[in-house]
Structures are given as C-alpha cells and as structure tokens.
Chains A and B, each alone.
Chain A
Amino acid sequence: MIKYISKILKSGWVNLKRQGFLTLTTSIVIFIAVVLGTALFIFQGGVSFMTDAIKDKIDVSIYFNEQVSREEILKIREEVAKLEEVNKVSYVSPEEAYENFVETHQNDPYLESLEAIEINPFLSSLVVQTKEPSQYKAISEFFKKDEYVSLVYEIDDYKRGTIIDRISGMSDGIRNIGIFLTLFLSFIAVTVTLNTLRVSIYSQREEIEIMRLVGAKNSFIRGPFLIQGAMCGFFAAILCFVLFFLILFSLKTNLETLFMGFDVFSFYRNNIITILLLQLLIGVGLGLISSFFAVRKYLKD
C-alpha cells in the first residue's frame, strides 16, 4: 500500500514538473480563487470591526436630579451592571461632564456662555452601553420603575432612539451584504476554477484513455491527477499567503486611513494561522475537487 501511494505521489509530482505550462495556468486560476477567499475573510473582519465600532458609539445616558447623592448613584450603577443586557456602565460626575464639555467645545461660543454663568449646570449621570444596540429600550424601562422615577431627571433614549435603531439596522445591513458578497463571489470562484481544471484535464483525455487501455485501475489513473491538482492548489495558497503579507505590510498606514482605522495588517497577523489554513483549504480543496470531477468523466467503464 505504501509503495502504491508513493508511486502515485511520485507520478503526480513528475507530471506536475513536466507539464509546466498547465501547472502554471491551473495554479493561477486557483490563486485567484484563494485571493478572493482571503479578501473576503479580511472583508468580514473589516465589517465586524466597523459594526463593533458603531455599537461602541451607541449608549444611553441617565441624568439624575441634583439632590441625588453620588453614593446613591453608584449603588444604582451596581444594580444596572447586574442587568443581562448591559455591557458597560460608567458614572459621570458633574465635574467630569463639565470637563468633557470644555474639551469638546474649544473655541465655541457655548463655552463662553458657560463660563459667564459661573456655575456648573451639568448633572450626574450614568452612561450605559448595551450588548446589542437594540437593547437600549430595556435600560430606559428599568429606570421607569417607581423606585427610580423620582431620582431620574432625564433619560436621553427618546432623543436617540431613532438614531440607535437606524445605526443598528445599518450594521446588520453591512453584515448581510458581506455574507451575500462572500457567498456570491465564492460561487463564482469555485465555478471558474472547476471549469478551467476541467478544460485542462479535457486536453489530457487521450492520456487517460491510454492508461485505461494498458490496464491501469481507475484509482491508479486518478491518483496522480489528484496530486497534481492538490499541488497546484498548495503553491497557489502559499504564493497568496506571502503576497498578502508583503502587500499589507508595505501598505499598512495607507490601508488604515482608507479603511477608517481598521488595521488590516494587524488583523492578518493576528489571524495568521486561520488565514493560512483557510488559504490551504481553498487551494488544495479546489484543486482536489476539480481534478476529481474532471477525471471522473473519463474513467467510466
């Protein structure tokens, strides 16, 4: 058995070397499919980065009446933190709110008015971030309970509600478009690769016929073709891996600006094993499957 396998491996490797042009064209087609797969993986990473970034910006602020003490608010914060929907809850004191306002409104006429009244008009607040943007309603419901109604001055969800809904819908939309594009482009890549390999194996149908005529078993004929397809896929995957690494490294800064802060190179580096496995899976898998189906046609008894 080992001898049989080594014979097939050797034969596949020799064919690969001798059929240089065929190997090159097959590898190029598989390479394109692997590039597409890798790009889609990175695209998915980008989409998830963007939707996370959008979600991070969504929060609900609960402003408390002036007479409510810091200790009371911190106690409420502990209660809120226990809620299932809550991701993060932070306390903002009137002083911090004032400082934040000053920081974000430099050279603004509002700031002059604020300085003129010489008092701090800001109230203490809790800024709540939910796990999903759509869960903000649960937070506002929580603060509408009798025990809190008298303490709360304002919940800003009514103002932000529509925006939160819209942003939430947008992030879902981006994700859906990503999934659709991934499926559609993967289908095209698989179809193109399969057909190209079919054409290349079609050109060798006479060789397959000769092998059958001299009494070779189907598995003995098929083996080297599968090895050839898998090797082409392997080369394509490795080439794609190295090229992506080099290109993303050299364009690191430009890409970060282009993709609104999404560091593509770091994403590639952090997921290097997954990406390499994905590329090998696409390359070798496509090579094997396409060769299998293309040869099968000529192996019927």
Chain B
Amino acid sequence: MIEFKNVKKKYPANSLREEKMALDDVSFNIKQGEFVTLCGRSGAGKTTILKLVSCEEKPSSGEVLIENQNICDIKKGQTCFLRQKVGSIFQDYKLLSYKTVFENVAYALEAFDFDGDKIEEEVMQVIDLVGLGDKLNCLPRELSGGEKQRVSIARALIHRPKVILADEPTGNLDPYHSRDVIKVLLKINEAGSTIVLSTHSKDIVNALKKRVITLEDGRIIRDEEKGRFFL
C-alpha cells in the first residue's frame, strides 16, 4: 500500500543554505488495513513522512510508492487525485473557518465531483459517526477543540479513503477527547482503512498495541509489531 525505499529528504535549514536532513535512508512498507504509529521527538521526521505520503513534499532521493505509484511521477496538477485516496487529520484541525461543520465535511466530497444529491446523505452519516449531529450549522469558532478534531476526522473519512494520515491528532486535546479520537481511528481501521498515526503520547502508543515505527534524527531506530513507546 505505502512503500518507502531508501528515502532521503533534505530541507534548506537557514540563510547560509546549509541543509538539514529530515529523513535519512528510510525504508519501510505498510500493508493495506494496517494501523501504524510513528513515534519520535519533535524534528525526528514523523511529519515529513506524512507529507511525503500526501504528496505535499517530494523526496530528495529514493522512492515513495502509494499503491505502486511513485509520487515523483505525478504530473503537475494531478496531485489532487492522489490526495483523494488519502484522508488527512491535523493537530491544528485545518478547518475552513467560513464554512459550517456540514460544509467543511461536504467540501471534501464536492471537490471530487461527487454526485450532488448523495452528498447530504453521506455527510450526515459520517457526522453522526463522529457524534456531531447537533452541531451541523456551527462554524469552527463555535466548537471546542475535541469537536473541531472530530469534524477534521469526518472530513478525512467522507470519501472513504484507503489511507488516513493523522498528524498528532490528539496534540491539542485533553486525555478524555484524545481517547475518543483514538477510538474513532480504531473503528475506521476495523472497517478496512490503513491508518498512519503520528503521536508523542506514550499512553496512546502503549494502549494501542499496534505496529510502532520509532524515528530519531530522520532514521528509523525501531520498527515493531505490537510495539511500545520507546524514547
């Protein structure tokens, strides 16, 4: 499903044009339906991996394959089609501030030329799944952090993507809401979607008992089935 082959990613670090190595010779394979947690300190390379999968960044060298398609071969203007296979959940929710809960979720469907008549039905189903049926017409500023994150999850789910990328989705939430979010992710995983979760939370990693990839300074230092938080 997702394959990294000797991937290196460098970013220009400062005005002196020195480069910072975000990923250094990273290789791994994620199968369809897996739940993988990426662990590591800030700057270890977790977000870079997610950005490469969602095609926000291109590798400096090596190959990133999504369903056997190399992201470097994707032509200009075609990135949107890859993103339609991937649902993203962000720490800062990234909701459209002038759209209601319903419109934020529906936007992801409208953007894919989805049949207009079915949009309402689909959106209502997903919003009910995340438990926000009573907040349909609220704008993001009227919601709590947990509710915003649930909207973000609903938006990521709406087009039934094969992969969900969750970049520290519990980073801004209290433990109670964090548990809710993880429960929803597990439910989605059970339905067959691949989940790639990046987190700092020891409790979450240990409670999940799923595959854990631990990164340090851009390198994979551990990759274990049913892993535990190790830093």
- Chain A residues with CB under 8 Å of chain B are 3-4, 7, 11, 14-15, 18-19, 206-207, 209-218, 220, 301
**Pair A217/B83 contact, Cβ less than 8 Å:** no
Q: Which of B54, B84, B96, B110 contacts A7 (CB 8 A)?
A: B110
The yes or no answer to B190 lying at the interface (CB within 8 A) is no
Chain A: interface secondary structure? helix
Residues in B154-176 with C-beta less than 8 Å from chain A = 155, 159
**Pair A214/B111 contact, Cβ less than 8 Å:** yes
Q: Which residue of A lies closest to B95 (CB)?
A: A210
The yes or no answer to B79 lying at the interface (CB within 8 A) is yes
The CA of A3 and the CA of B112, in the complex, are separated in Å by 12
Count of B interface residues, CB-CB < 8 Å = 26
Contacts of A11 in B (CB 8 A): 110
The CA of A91 and the CA of B76, in the complex, are separated in Å by 78
Q: Which of A4, A207, A217 contacts B80 (CB 8 A)?
A: A217
User: Distance (Å) between the CB of A30 and the closest chain B CB?
Assistant: 20
Contacts of A7 in B (CB 8 A): 110, 116
Nearest 6 A-B pairs (CB), nearest first? A216-B111, A215-B83, A215-B84, A18-B98, A214-B108, A210-B94
Q: In this complex, which of A4, A19, A211, A217 has the most chain B Cβ atoms within 10 angstroms of its Cβ?
A: A217
Q: Which residue of B lies closest to A18 (CB)?
A: B98
**Pair B77/A214 contact, Cβ less than 8 Å:** no
**Pair A213/B54 contact, Cβ less than 8 Å:** yes
Contacts of B96 in A (CB 8 A): 207, 210-211
Contacts of B128 in A (CB 8 A): none
The yes or no answer to B56 lying at the interface (CB within 8 A) is yes
The CA of A220 and the CA of B114, in the complex, are separated in Å by 13
The CA of A4 and the CA of B111, in the complex, are separated in Å by 9
- Given A213-B54, A214-B108, do A3 and B80 touch, yes or no (CB 8 Å)? no
Residues in B58-97 with C-beta less than 8 Å from chain A = 76-77, 79-81, 83-84, 86, 88, 94-97
**Pair B155/A214 contact, Cβ less than 8 Å:** yes
Q: In this complex, which of B77, B98, B116 has the most chain A Cβ atoms within 10 angstroms of its Cβ?
A: B98
**Pair A207/B88 contact, Cβ less than 8 Å:** no
Interface CB pairs A-B, < 8 A, 11: A14-B98, A207-B98, A210-B94, A211-B107, A212-B80, A213-B56, A213-B83, A213-B94, A216-B107, A220-B111, A301-B79
User: Distance (Å) between the CB of A279 and the closest chain B CB?
Assistant: 29
